Structure 1
Amino acid sequence: MKAFAFKPKLVSTLKNYNRKTFMADLMAGIIVGIVALPLAIAFGIASGVTPEKGIITAIVAGLIISVFGGSRVQIGGPTGAFIIIIYGIIQQYGFEGLTIATLMAGAFLVMFGLLRLGTIIKYIPYPIVVGFTSGIAVTIFTTQIKDLFGLTMTEVPSDFIEKWIAYAHCFGSVDPWSAAVGILSVAVIAVTPKFSKKIPGSLIAIIIMTVAVLLLKQFAGVSTVETIGDRFAISNELPEAHMPAMTWETVKSLVSPAITIAILGAIESLLSATVADGVIGDRHDSNTELVAQGLANLASPLFGGIPATGAIARTMTNINNGGRTPVAGIIHAVVLLMIFLFLMPLAQYIPMACLAGVLVVVSYGMCGWRSFAALMKNPKSDVSVLLITFFLTIIFDLTIAIEVGLIIACLLFMKRMSETTDVKVISDEIDPNDEADIETGNLEHLVIPQGVEVYEINGPYFFGAGNRFEEIMAAFGDRPKVRIIRMRKVPFVDSTGIHNLQNLCTMSRNEGIQIVLSGVNPKVEAVLKRSGFNETIGNENICNHIDLALERARKIVDKFSD
């Protein structure tokens, strides 16, 4: 295995860096910083933390991901995918528990990168990714109903179904002004791209609605629209690094959510980097990217931040505005820092209904309903994984959804793999024109001697194939003197396959039957020898091609006949 090489893209891109590239990165970084501001605030509040923690995450994690990442254009920060898992951890373990879980997730991500698991993670089945992404989108939308319509509720249940029941009971308390702000915010965000490609609709909506609510309060006496300042105390002070107190019991209890954060962060960041590659014609280093994501999640919680990952929407904004090196991501973090230090107090006037509208649009973008609908036309097994992951995400939580979804997907994959392995019985004679492992020059049909059975395994020989092979042989009532197993089309064998072969040899020997292997490829033969299987069967009974195996079988039959 090739050693891991940590190669941040920043190092390679700075070699030919020039003024023109810097100006493009500067403009892109400023625009992405502005785009990231309302999203960071909204994601922070929706996750159950204060607004500034969302911005701190975007600053710290965004900076580290750009400096150390394996993608030229990746923009990191808090994302909607983490909202549900963060909120659940805070409810159960408190913010201190979230800090520990994020630190653990960062360590896991670094380990994933060092172990070169970047390419493997990208093979997580598509139905699982769509299922939990769509489930997260529905859950985010559900959590915003109270603020979107200004419902009067003393407490919002955490359970999905109970939440909707509570909404139904309280829908008579809708505040028309809050509902108007929320719905108009969604409308402004939806129509902005038709007029402006540079300035994000979410920022325009926040500015318009904040000014409108201030005017309504000042001149019309409307004070029912809740703002960030009504719910949170806003601070623009930079936090000091703080390491939480950890106990072994706390660490053990947080392993599962930490792994969920790590896997989710890995999937989203690598998906974002892959999409970016297709647009700019580059190729990211997935393992370096995972290490950078891990470092970001190790640093962010120390300063009061929340989990972070690569953000597809902000990364695409970066690309569309000319960003082509990690410098744009660094500038985006600096812009956010300046806004945090000098403009953060103004955030207290932002209406909660407007932020809810921003998140409603985010949830719509995440839901991927077209992909969901397309997958519903796929094989039933894929549909099952999709629906199970989706409903587990919205009814229970993301941790259970990912775990169960992966288990089901793995089981279906193993079932499909076993079905690709074919075991057949060859009787009477073998046609050399159809064979690849017969010695050159032997063009006559090879007759299978009396008392010899020939089986052929076509495909990987692992537990599924081994069980089927035993079933096929059990169906034959005759007891031959020799069983030839042709393995010329077996690309690999696992420990279960070896165990089945050893059992077969032992049972066959007890019944007076000799096993002979034919056409074993060098890799499979090396695995068999390492396991000691050649001592069980005898080296003379492992033949390179079928005519040698038949010759060996004739000698054994003749020996029995003497």
Structure 2
Amino acid sequence: MKALKSDSVLGDIWGGTAAMLVALPSAIAFGVTIFSALGSQFGAQGAVAGILGTVALGLLAPMFGGTNRLISAPCAPAAAVLSAFAIEFMGRGGSPELGLLLLALMGLLSGGLQLIMGGLKLGGLIKYMPYPVVSGYLSGVGMIIIGSQLPRFLGTPKGVNFLGALTSPGLWRWQGMAVGGATIAVMLLAPKVTKKVPAPVLGLVAGILTYLALGLFDPALMTLAGNSFVVGALGGGGGGLLETFSARWSALGDLGFGALRDLVVPALTLAVLLSIDTLKTCVVLDALTRTRHDSNRELIGQGLGNLAAAALGGVPGAGTMGATLVNMSSGATTRLSGLIEGIAALIAFALLANLISWVPVASLSGILLVIGVRMINWSSLGFLKSRSTILDFAVILAVIACALSISLIVASGVGVVLAVFLFIREQVHGSVVRRIASGDQTFSKRVRVQDEMDILAERGNQTAIVELQGSLFFGTTSQLFHALEADLKTRRYLILDMRRVQSVDITAAHMLDQIKDMLGERHGVLIFSQIPKHLPSGKDMEQYFDQLGLVRSGHPVRMFGEVDEAMEWAEDQIIAEAALPDNEESLLELPDIELFKDRKKETLIELEKSMETREVKAGETIFSIGDHGDELFLIRKGTVRIVLPLAGGHVRHLATFGKGSFFGEMAFLDGEARSAEAVAFTDAHLYVLSRKGFDAFADAHKKVGLTLMEGLASVLASRLRYTNAELRALEG
């Protein structure tokens, strides 16, 4: 066990260190991007802010978040939102010092909002963001990063936008393009050569070496002061790091209510996007490791990490996919790896702080360009190939358009609204009516005598059995009414099988109430069967119908636990209306039973001597599955159900036999053990004919015995014909 623990710690150390090597170059690049928007002299501060954000998130997020193997660091959404805010703020004539303070306050506010989200248990909601929205938002962030970094890659002066940089070759500086090109080339080719060293690290090293090689031919490149090709001195606009830190918070005196008000929406945007980014990574991690993260706890951990990062002047971040996957593949198993990543980043900062000044800006731009291109979901172009997914592509396109022209939070909101519309459209176009069957083709499990079956074959079309499915809501109400409209004009009994219904809203319930009234005007009945007790939403549909007055007593509406019970009730009403003589209280004599009609009275008297009579109380078992018995049971009065016992004490209802019917014929014919269980549904009076008694009677009355067997076969064949007709109706 100790050896295993030692291996686990070693894996966490290797994983955390490798993850730091992936996260740190990107974090530096993100920091430079954000802070350079305040002025090129603040690029060095941005590099330090990226490192400080990596350290703070690495130390706190794993400790309080608790998701094993997750690596948290500054990320692309943070760079997109914060740099856009900084550019807009400076465009309004703001001061860089106040801009630094506002960036820190935005990080604090977003971290606080994440704490609130976690405390209010909103983590489970954020992770259910629709895929087209997430795809569009990530692609939008990628395009924003590309748009902000391409001018830096080309070396154009500050203030030149994306289109201006592309259309002004005269402003391009080949030295920066060479450094950035080397970085991109190595990042793309490195994984094909080795995966032991992260591609961003090799790309950054390639960029630095290219820059140093150019410096051999151009001594101006080896000068730090006034050199726009490199990050520059860590003091930023002047002074050391401590002076810069204190100067930032001293700007609190210049902070007004308007500036704070302008922070709210960007901070909310940042909090939501960082949360989505984190939980999306956690979901992928769960799938790869077969674990389950705690969304709300993770939001609290991320919020604390971002609060600490902002308080130190660092860049906020989230759980990042690339570093997390490297961490896992390097052998990490616990959240200790996240702490190791933070500690390793702190050590790297202490050892390499002086070298950061010489990191080429174009090399960082190259890293971000690769990240931006990879964030774009190119596979979504495949949605254009199918008509069924072209609208999903439209949602992605709308999100990207809003992200580029308005803001990321507006883009997410627009995407969610469009995704809801797509969902409603899908529900509306999907049929809520699974099947409609007629009562003269589909019958209950009640086994009836031939006279009753003839009536049902002739008049059973007064009943319609409608299997519903999906969601009954305002979007499908009209569809349901049109599907039932023809039946409402001709049927008297409308059975709605509700077992596959997922939800019902008040609009659908009102429409069902109207259907009930329409049937009532024609002395018909609306029948509900198998109403779900608990819908996926937790709603009790039966209680909901009762609250709306849909199933109150005195109304032309009935409810049954199973569709078969509803069909049996409707069949009983049709048979009763046909005035078929039937006194349920009287006992049938042998000549009255269908199997022995038109037989000589003397012969039946002789046969009755071979039988015994039996009375069974409701609920008593007549025979059980596996019993060895060969008796044929003929029902003089009452009803008997044939059921199949299942696991967990459940039973499946196979058939119901009523007055004048017989059951037990399989064992009577083949002598095998009983294959089901017979239970008296009501008090029953039975004739019982054993095979031994029948054989003795048949020896003396061979012709009658043969006729009896033929009659038995005829009744069974008749039942089979009705079953075949029902199967054909179901297939149609």
Which deviates the most, 101-110 or 75-84?
Answer: 101-110
Q: Name the structure 2 match of 1:10.
A: none
1:417–1:337: structure 2 CA closer, same or farther, 3 Å change rule?
same
Contact kept, 8 Å, 2:179 with 2:208, in 1: the verdict is no
Is the 2:101–2:249 contact (alpha carbons within 8 Å) kept by the matching residues of 1? no
Q: Does 1:53 align with 2:49?
A: yes
Aligned 8 A contact 1:242 1:303 in 2: no
Q: Which moved more, 1:262-271 or 1:547-556?
A: 547-556
**SS of the residue 1:74 aligns to:** coil
1:156 aligned to which of 160, 167, 175: 160
- Matched position secondary structure for 1:382: helix
* 1:366 aligned partner: 375
Kept after mapping to 2: 8 A contact 1:516/1:549:
no
Local SS of the residue matching 1:292? helix
Which residue of 22, 29, 34 maps to 1:42?
Answer: 29
CA–CA separation in structure 1 for the residues paired with 2:87 and 2:351: 32
Any conservation in 1 of the 2:66–2:335 contact (CA below 8 Å)?
no
Note if contact 1:516-1:553 (Cα within 8 Å) is conserved in structure 2.
no
| Cα contact 1:57–1:300 (8 A) shared by 2 | yes
Q: Where do residues 50-449 of structure 1 align in structure 2 (5 Å cutoff)? A: 50-92=46-88, 94-114=99-119, 116-153=121-158, 155-157=159-161, 163-164=162-163, 166-210=164-208, 212-213=210-211, 216-217=214-215, 220-223=218-221, 226-229=229-232, 232-233=236-237, 236-237=241-242, 254=263, 256-369=265-378, 371-378=379-386, 379-423=389-433, 426=436, 429-432=439-442, 438=444, 441=447, 444=453, 445=456
C-alpha distance 472-60 of structure 1, shift in aligned 2 (>3 A): same
Query: Equivalents in 2 of 1:485, 1:16: separation in Å?
Result: 64
Amino acid at match of 2:338: G
**Greater relative contact order structure (CA < 8 Å, 6+ sep):** 1
Give the TM-score of the pair, scaled to structure 2: 0.63
1:450 & 1:476 partners in 2: Cα distance? Answer: 10
Secondary structure class of the residue paired with 2:196: coil
* CA distance in structure 2 between the partners assigned to 1:262 and 1:496 by the alignment: 37
Q: Which has the higher helix share?
A: 1
| Correspondences of 1:447-526 after superposition (within 5 Å) | 456-472=467-483, 478=489, 485-502=496-513, 515-523=526-534, 526=540
Greater shift in the superposed pair: 326-335 or 360-369? 360-369
- Whole-angstrom distance in 2 between the partners of 1:345 and 1:441: 92
CA contact (8 A) 1:65 1:293 kept: yes
1:74-115 CA-to-partner distances (Å, cap 9, x unmatched) read 100111233222222334465555445444443444454455
Distance 1:505 1:247 in 2: 64
> How far 1:380 moved relative to its partner?
1.8
Give the conservation status (yes or no) of the 8 Å contact 2:279–2:319: yes
Shift of 1:501: 3.5
Worse-matched range after superposition: 517-526 or 445-454: 445-454
Structure 1 segments unaligned to the other structure (5+ residues)? 1-13, 158-162
Report the Cα offset of residue 421 of structure 1: 3.8
Distance 1:504 1:97 in 2: 61
In the alignment, is the contact (CA less than 8 A) between 1:428 and 1:448 conserved in 2? no
CA distance in 2, matches of 1:499, 1:16: 68
Distance 2:270 2:440 in 1: 56
Q: CA deviation at 1:409?
A: 1.2
The alpha-carbon deviation at position 315 of structure 1 amounts to 0.9
Identity value in percent: 26
- Unaligned runs of at least 5 residues, structure 2: 37-45, 90-98, 222-226, 579-732
Distance in 2 of aligned mates of 1:466 and 1:276: 41
User: What's the secondary structure of 1:156's corresponding residue?
Assistant: coil
Corresponding residue of 1:547: 567
- Match of 2:428, SS state, is helix
Residue 82 of structure 2 contacts residue 103 of structure 2 at CA under 8 Å; is this kept in 1?
yes
Deviation at 1:189, TM superposition (A): 2.3
Q: What are the Cα deviations for residues 107-151 of structure 1, in whole angstroms up to 9, with x where unaligned?
A: 444454455554554443333322222232222122112211211
Q: Deviations over 1:171-214 (max 9, x none)?
A: 21211212111112212323333444333343344345435545
Q: Which sits farther off after the overlay, 212-221 or 338-347?
A: 212-221
Counterpart amino acid of residue 529 in structure 1: Q
8 Å CA contact retained: 1:460, 1:492: yes
Q: Number of residues paired by the alignment? A: 533
Counterpart residue number, 2:6: 19
**Who is 2:708 aligned against?**
none
Distance in structure 2 (CA, Å) of the matches to 1:136 and 1:513 = 61
Query: What residue in structure 2 maps to residue 3 of structure 1?
Result: none
**Which sits farther off after the overlay, 212-221 or 271-280?**
212-221
Between the aligned partners of 1:67 and 1:103, the Cα distance in structure 2 is: 19
Letter in 2 for 1:23: L
Q: 2 CA distance for matches of 1:65 and 1:401?
A: 28
SS in 2 for 1:464: coil
Distance 1:191 1:476, change over 3 A: closer
Aligned partner of 2:549 in structure 1 is: 535
How much has 1:353 moved relative to structure 2? 1.0
After superposition, what is the alpha-carbon deviation per residue over 1:304-335, rounded to whole angstroms, capped at 9, x for unaligned? 23331111111122122222221121111112
Instruction: Report the alpha carbon displacement of residue 543 of structure 1 after superposing the two structures with TM.
Output: 1.5
Query: Partner letter of residue 41 of structure 1?
Result: I
- Mapped partners of 2:108, 2:569: distance in 1: 59
SS in 1 for 2:476: helix
- Amino acid corresponding to residue 197 of structure 1 in structure 2: K
